[in-house]
Structure 1
Amino acid sequence: MRIMKRTVSALKTFGTRFSDDRRGNVAMMFALALPPMMLMTLGGVDIARVSTVRMNVQDALDAATLAAARSQYTDNPRINAVGLAALQANLAPYGDVTLDTTQTNFRLNTATGAVEADAKVNVRALVANIFLPPYGQFFDDQLPANAHSEVLRSNNRIEVALVIDNTGSMDGAKLTNTKTAAIDLINRLEAADGRSIEQDAIKISLVPFSMTVRVAQGGTNTPPSFMSNADTHTGGGAWNSGSNPYSAFDTAVGRFTLFGRLNTTWGGCVESRPQPYDIRDTAPSSGTQATMFVPYFAPDEPDRADYPNHSTWQNWQYEGNDYLDDGRPGSNANSPFANTAARTTEWFARVRSVSRYSTTPRNTLNTGFGPNRGCDLQPIIRLTDNYTALRTAVNNMIASGNTNVPLGTMWGWHTLSPNAPFGDGRPYGTERLKKIIIIMTDGANVMSDTTSPNDSTYNGLGYIWQNRLGIVSGNDTTRRTRMDNRFDHATAATEDMCGNMKDKDIEVYTVAVQVDSTAQTLLRRCATDTDHYFPVDSAAGIGAAFDRIAGAIENLRISR
């Protein structure tokens, strides 16, 4: 302002000197030249100011176009309404700028998928209308400024697997907040799908997990194409301490067959495949039985009442899943067995006995009692754009069981994979395709150590003595480490599940809710990078983590 005053003062002085000059020609020529000279000199101030305003208007228009592109609308009138409202709000701080709404519009280019916008504003002149009123009025005291913007609605195809912890520790606020956050994410991606010019631009799968995963609704004893009756492998076949020490049964009878003998059906849950297929998306093949999937089947526990004086089996941990009569003699003696080895032998003779599965169950079999005990999860929702079904499934999730993050994650990967068991995912490497997995958990991997000869509770890894973790015993810490290592090994170049997924260009997000430092390190390491890892200190923070992930997935950008 001081410079302007000095300039004006100098011009006035200069003008006075020339007006006093009686040499007529000079005065006349200068009088004619002075207005254009002042217009050019002082108008430059306005022109420079318009240039600055234009940059502000461009920023405001870019933000408004982004808002219009993020809306769920595909018709131009509503896209225009959203854009205009946002632009007017963005320009509100600039009191000397007037938006010309008749020459401002937002519209969708259906050929490119971009929301395009053009805006015109008028900037009030500061110099010309003060010092050169005729010239300022010629421009109506306003100088025009234009801006153009485009926001490309993402034309990537996106496949997202939501892998969500449904274990008992999630009960209460954590599960409630997780449901809300997951539904909000689904809603945002549904809106993004609606904005896309691509068919089936976004598909989502849902994998609730605990100590197992329910891959189907169940209700059948006919094995799906990707499953085996498990009469020869993974806990099947006839037990033999030398040749087959890891079988759950003493006779080669398949698990679907045993469900039928009990006059009940498979509940839809599965066990993990044996190593190395537990961390690979290798397609199941009957020619390689270890690649086939095996039904979850919780064996009947030994009869408690057969030994009244030793009803707790010498204080061994007893889970209470005793749904069949063992069909073996008991004893009322104080010491029915000579020693611990004899008791253990008798215990396993009952656990492995297949013949008892032809008897009548003690009570009604359900997910709390019988071979499907613990299979009470919401079933997987395969990759789909049926967002209503996804929301319903999320709302139906319950909290139950222990934590097996590798098994849940593996089935999240299966839903994205182009390979069987589902084959719903597009081929790896497809142009403009993003495969994303979101893993949310609040706990540590666990395969509980018990005091009974089973040495563990039954879960998606069977019993510990079945060697699914490469060990047949060990304390809780040892078992957790084994499970963690299958998920993401601390040693570089060691095969693990997270590394295998990343090798397929799957983008990995992890959300760690109130977990210990070991689990934090594990989940941070599994994520694609630190920006894909979200540590959450309380149930209240779950929504914010999912919100940030949803924003990243929407992947909108200003193109120019």
Structure 2
Amino acid sequence: MNVEVQSQVNIPVDKKAEIVLVLDYSGSMKETSGGEVKYKAMRKAAKKLVADLEAANPDSVKFGLVPFSHHVWVTLPKQYVVGQTGLGNWTGCTQDRMNPYNLTDETPNIGIDESKWGHPQAPPPPGDGPHGGCAAYAPNKLIVRPLTNDFWSVKDQLDRMLPYAYTHIALGVEFGFHLLSPNAPFGQGVSYGDANTEKIMVVLTDGRQTERSFGPGGSREVADGERNLEALCDAAKAKGITMMTIAFDLRDDATKDRLRDCSTDPARHFFVAEDGGDVASAFESIRNEITAQVVLSR
């Protein structure tokens, strides 16, 4: 077992925590590493984190989920989705917003389509086959779950989610940022700078960006997604979000470097996991610090 670093969340004992798990559910997570199916190892470790913090003090922590592959499946107000009109909500698949709106947690402007979600899926990069559509997301339970203290529902969804399709890491972090934000369309996050709450995003992936993303000047390339990930991590950290990243059986050095740089403090918040045991150890380190410094505050 070889976890590269240890984690620590430096927060006083009277604080609470909002935690969003941004988890890679692309097709490669169905593969094995160290004799264990990767998504099952991730699921087991994430469920244990939720269960342990719930048992310690359910009043001190909330969880959100962002399972991502090349899309996310999410419920949004219609006014924030391209082509939708009227009141009520829209539920479906989306990729990122257009640049530069996909680099912030700002609420969409109902008069500017570029600031909204729901743009058509990007064509696959040259040499790739079709990246798949939207049909498998709901059956595979790959559904964005806003911050909640309904721990049973979080664990139940973790039990049910199944991998599908390609990888859009920047999209996962984009929605993780929005779930922790006090801004619409979600708004469950407390205000930035709240003295009593620590915001934490845990990002796990096993591969490089393979989906095109919106960049400046109308560009839409895989490289834009890589740059967008860097910009989103910087923006989230600037808001005071603690970024923790896990590279799980990740063979692409550039992506591994990007995850290291994404973390708030690489010496404390970046993990290299070669197998399921390493993933469990990474989540255990995160759990221990949160338990000691947040949850046992009653």
Q: CA deviation at 1:287?
A: 2.5
Q: CA deviation at 1:509?
A: 0.3
CA contact under 8 A between 2:79 and 2:110: conserved in structure 1?
no
CA contact under 8 A between 1:165 and 1:442: conserved in structure 2?
yes
1:215 aligns with 2:74: yes
- CA distance 1:227–1:547, shift in 2 (3 Å): same
2:150 to 386, 411, 433: 386
1:486 aligns with 2:222: no
Aligned to 1:275: 99
Distance in 2, matches of 1:552 and 1:392, equals 24
How many residues are aligned here?
A: 271
Per-residue Cα deviation, 1:487-543 (whole angstroms, up to 9, x for no partner)? 11xxxxxxx111100110000000001212111111000001121000112233211
Distance in 2, matches of 1:401 and 1:224, equals 26
Instruction: Tell me the SS of whatever aligns to 2:202.
Output: strand
Aligned to 2:171: 407
Aligned to 1:511: 246
Aligned to 2:9: none
Distance in 2, matches of 1:426 and 1:480, equals 33
Distance in 1, matches of 2:49 and 2:134, equals 32
Distance in 2, matches of 1:296 and 1:400, equals 19
Instruction: Tell me the SS of whatever aligns to 2:198.
Output: strand
Aligned to 2:78: 224
- CA distance 1:183–1:399, shift in 2 (3 Å): same
Instruction: Tell me the SS of whatever aligns to 1:555.
Output: helix
Instruction: Tell me the SS of whatever aligns to 1:510.
Output: strand
Structure 2, unpaired ranges of 5+: 1-11, 32-36
1:535 to 268, 272, 278: 272
CA RMSD of aligned residues (A): 3.1
Q: CA deviation at 1:389?
A: 0.1
Q: CA deviation at 1:482?
A: 2.7
1:544 aligns with 2:290: no
CA contact under 8 A between 1:269 and 1:295: conserved in structure 2?
no
Distance in 2, matches of 1:284 and 1:421, equals 8
Divergent runs of 4+, >6 A = 471-474
Amino acid of the structure 2 residue aligned with 1:487: L
Per-residue Cα deviation, 1:106-130 (whole angstroms, up to 9, x for no partner)? xxxxxxxxxxxxxxxxxxxxxxxxx
Q: Which has the higher strand share?
A: 2
Aligned to 1:181: 45
Amino acid of the structure 1 residue aligned with 2:232: M
Distance in 1, matches of 2:52 and 2:219, equals 46
Q: CA deviation at 1:156?
A: 0.6
Distance in 2, matches of 1:481 and 1:205, equals 28
1:501 aligns with 2:247: no
Q: CA deviation at 1:473?
A: 8.2
Q: CA deviation at 1:191?
A: 1.9
Distance in 2, matches of 1:473 and 1:213, equals 21
Aligned to 2:5: none
- CA distance 1:431–1:284, shift in 2 (3 Å): same
CA contact under 8 A between 1:514 and 1:537: conserved in structure 2?
yes
Per-residue Cα deviation, 1:198-229 (whole angstroms, up to 9, x for no partner)? xx42111011000111113x9xxxx6343231
Amino acid of the structure 1 residue aligned with 2:163: A
Distance in 2, matches of 1:317 and 1:440, equals 24
CA contact under 8 A between 2:62 and 2:148: conserved in structure 1?
yes
Amino acid of the structure 2 residue aligned with 1:182: A
Amino acid of the structure 2 residue aligned with 1:213: V
CA contact under 8 A between 2:215 and 2:225: conserved in structure 1?
yes
Q: CA deviation at 1:179?
A: 0.6
Q: CA deviation at 1:486?
A: 1.2
Amino acid of the structure 1 residue aligned with 2:247: A
TM-score (norm 1): 0.45
CA contact under 8 A between 1:205 and 1:384: conserved in structure 2?
yes
Distance in 2, matches of 1:470 and 1:417, equals 24
CA contact under 8 A between 1:499 and 1:526: conserved in structure 2?
yes
Per-residue Cα deviation, 1:222-259 (whole angstroms, up to 9, x for no partner)? x63432317xxxxxxxxxxxxxxxxxxxxxxx9x9xxx
Amino acid of the structure 2 residue aligned with 1:546: F
1:446-465 equivalent positions in 2, closer than 5 A: 446-447=210-211, 461=213
Identity %: 30
Instruction: Tell me the SS of whatever aligns to 1:551.
Output: helix
Distance in 2, matches of 1:185 and 1:389, equals 14
Greater RCO between the two (CA within 8 Å, min separation 6)? Answer: 2
Distance in 1, matches of 2:136 and 2:217, equals 23
Q: CA deviation at 1:174?
A: 0.6
Aligned to 1:78: none
1:192 to 56, 76, 84: 56
Distance in 2, matches of 1:202 and 1:473, equals 39
Instruction: Tell me the SS of whatever aligns to 1:215.
Output: strand
Distance in 2, matches of 1:499 and 1:318, equals 32
Name which one, 1 or 2, has greater alpha-carbon Rg: 1
Q: CA deviation at 1:480?
A: 4.0
TM-score (norm 2): 0.81
Aligned to 1:28: none
Distance in 2, matches of 1:431 and 1:192, equals 21
Per-residue Cα deviation, 1:277-311 (whole angstroms, up to 9, x for no partner)? 11100111213332222266689xxxxxxxxxxxx
- CA distance 1:318–1:412, shift in 2 (3 Å): closer
Amino acid of the structure 2 residue aligned with 1:207: V
Per-residue Cα deviation, 1:33-82 (whole angstroms, up to 9, x for no partner)? xxxxxxxxxxxxxxxxxxxxxxxxxxxxxxxxxxxxxxxxxxxxxxxxxx
1:398 aligns with 2:162: yes
- CA distance 1:405–1:271, shift in 2 (3 Å): same
Distance in 2, matches of 1:286 and 1:193, equals 40
Q: CA deviation at 1:270?
A: 0.9
Q: CA deviation at 1:469?
A: 3.0
1:55-454 equivalent positions in 2, closer than 5 A: 154-172=13-31, 173-194=37-58, 200-216=59-75, 224-229=78-83, 268-294=92-118, 319=130, 372-373=134-135, 375-376=137-138, 377=140, 378-447=142-211
Distance in 1, matches of 2:119 and 2:157, equals 22
